[in-house]
Structure 1
Amino acid sequence: MSVTNQALEEFLSRSPLQVGPELLGARLSRQSEDGLVTVRLTEVEAYCGQQDPGSHAFRGPTRRTEPMFGPPGRLYVYFSYGMHWCTNLVAHEPGVAGALLLRAGEVVEGHELVLARRRKEVWNEKIASGPANLAQALGLDGASTGLDLASAGMHLELPAHAEEYLASGRVGVSGAGGDPVAYPWRYYLPHRSVSAYRPGKNVPNLNR
């Protein structure tokens, strides 16, 4: 279901906990000089800003996290473990930082380009499984952080109907005392592209 820019902003101007499940099944496309890639989002995680110890925005805005406090619909792309780029779609209520980490997707267009970007010779349904692999499949890096979707050459097409989904604790993130389901903010479809779950660490000491 294609939406206008205004409708998309309204859709994303809500808590990530509301937006996350409704984002599943959406088609996210990116047109670059290399070509077009489209993925169907199958897994996302919600991060709720200064009320969420697992969020980069927990301690307030910094030069790095400023996009999370900006208008909904921006990208927040960060470098993880000194190796990988990971992409978030900013979504939050007015005055509250928040974002959805795009964790996995099913590639539906641009298969050859994705193979080249991932430096793979054989296709695998998990080629865009995990946030770093998904960002690489779409050709996203730090140059895109802070941009809105259109400026990044991207288009989001929401699903016509809500899909049945599952929820769990976030990957590598858990609650106080190590409870892995204290923050059940990982939403995913029953699809082979979804990344493997692993229990997390205590979020107050988290530095993703």
Structure 2
Amino acid sequence: MTHPENSKSVEKRGRLFVISAPSGTGKTTLCDALRNTFPELCYSISYTTRQPRKGEADGRDYHFISVEEFKEGIALGRWAEWAEVHGNFYATSAFVLEETLGSGRDLLLEIDVQGMRQIVGCFPEAVTIFILPPSMNILRERLMKRGTDAAEMIERRMADAIREIARKDAYRYRIVNDDFERAKDALIFLVDACRKGEDPETTDYI
């Protein structure tokens, strides 16, 4: 028989939202809009070994750490998930997840497909959402317009996008970011409904 206090603590656990998308799809902009709509929604800042891009700040966009510190974190079990992407390491703090969800607060994660699979292995109740580009041609155009990557890196990102999109069905929900306002409304609707315990049956928002 379940102890009443245990039932109460389980009921109070927060909901975990995992959002993934190929680079250049607009995931970060959509997540910023989501956080503006739900300012009480906690956000896990990832750790990375890559160098900050122009305009990025440590502790706001990422926690920027050395490769040595990152590998020490692996050995100490600090990461709930981690992956190597384009020669750089990325990870999510296990402590932040447990502390936030255990206190009953909802939490948003922006991670890649590799990370999602690790997180869902530990948190099968996580709500997973995949953001798709309207087409691969449009995705390439967006990557080129960003002006942050050399041609070779853009090709690597496109190859990764093909692999990531092939795994889209592993996510509970999928949103195509063709029109930003429509994609934003769909994301807000999904998160709001799931936070209320409604769990919409529709899986595709195109």
TM-score normalized with structure 2 length: 0.26
Name the one with the larger strand percent. Answer: 1
Name the one with the larger helix percent. Answer: 2
Q: Which has the larger radius of gyration?
A: 2
